[in-house]
Amino acid sequence: MSAVCPACGVAVVPGYARCPRCQKPLPYGTGTRPRSAVAGGTVAEDRRFPWALVVVPLGAVVAIVLLLKLVAGGGDDAPAIADGNLAVAPVQPQAVAIAQPVEPTPRPVQPVQPDAPDPRVAISELERLLRSRRLWSKVEALPPRVDVRTSSCDDPAMRPSIDSVAAVLRRAGLTRLRCLAQSGSVVFERDL
């Protein structure tokens, strides 16, 4: 229900005293709305308890519990239905195993050579050498084996680099070396 400004022809919402475009006074209003005798709305506070804030989360919890109960199979005490009659499944006695104390088995003690270097030191020596020759790789010790994961297994400098630290690796108890591609496939495997 809009009116039209007689001066410029723009549609104007009732209640404006002047046209928003040309600022001419409009002939059909004073710009104020007539007040009704009865004002709407309420002034008093709504003091009802917000039940929705309690019922909705509680209903969600109950629904989740019921869903989990159905997914879990309803439990072990569900009655068995046979031929339309409600029959109770017989309870089988279960044997209870009594735990016997287990004695730890003694692990064989490996003789430690006093002059044997730590495998971590030997591995770090191999990593340092490969890095200095720009054969970027990740070296991991799985005694008695060493895994070298790199994309440079076929590089001509790889085997001489391994040969130069083979004695250090052998003294550390690492006797086998595998060179793995980045995908994990074994490119070559050799004794040290």
CA distances from 70 to 65, 74, 113 (A): 9, 5, 62
pTM of the full structure:
0.39
pLDDT in tens, 3-41: 888 889 888 888 888 898 999 988 865 545 555 555 566
In a 13 Å sphere around the CA of 155, the CA atoms on its Cβ side amount to 18
CATH class of 119-191: alpha beta
User: Residue 179 and residue 62: Cα distance in Å, rounded?
Assistant: 57
Q: Where in the chain is the domain with CATH 3.30.70?
A: 119-191
pLDDT in tens, 127-171: 999 999 988 889 998 888 999 999 989 999 999 999 999 998 898
